[in-house]
Amino acid sequence: MRGADDTRVIYEVDLDLEAAIAADYVSWLQAHVREILALPGFIDARVSRVEEPAAEPDRAWLCVHYVLRDAAALEAYLRDHAPRLRAEGQARFGGRFQARRRILRVLSEHGATPRD
């Protein structure tokens, strides 16, 4: 049984970007996510386009959910890797996007039962 300090964590990154860079950004983001998933403690990632609420007409809105083994893995990422990886995105896209981050602690996990 997992203890309170070793429950999975979701690291959410909301990305608000100029629509003009969306295709290039998504292409770069795919490689960026693969690089992060290679780090210790990362289990899974999901990149989504936000449908609702809708982005402004000249904007695109993405959301990335990274699933980590536990809070210690996230702390190690934030300390040892995040500054470099964030700087890479800023160097490539400058002020043409904004990122907001949240940390979610998983309380329980449920799987859907497939229906025929």
Stated pTM of the model = 0.87
Q: Which two tokens stand for residue 81?
A: 């890797």
Rounded to 5 degrees, φ, ψ at 87 are -65, -35
Which conformational region is residue 45 in: left (phi greater than 0), alpha (psi within -120 to 50 degrees), or beta?
beta
Q: What's the CA gap between 22 and 8, in Å, rounded?
A: 30
Q: What's the CA gap between 41 and 100, in Å, rounded?
A: 21
Q: What is the pLDDT of residues 11-56, one digit of tens each?
A: 999 999 999 999 999 999 999 999 999 999 999 999 999 999 988 9
Q: What is the pLDDT of residues 78-110, one digit of tens each?
A: 999 999 999 999 999 999 999 999 999 988 888
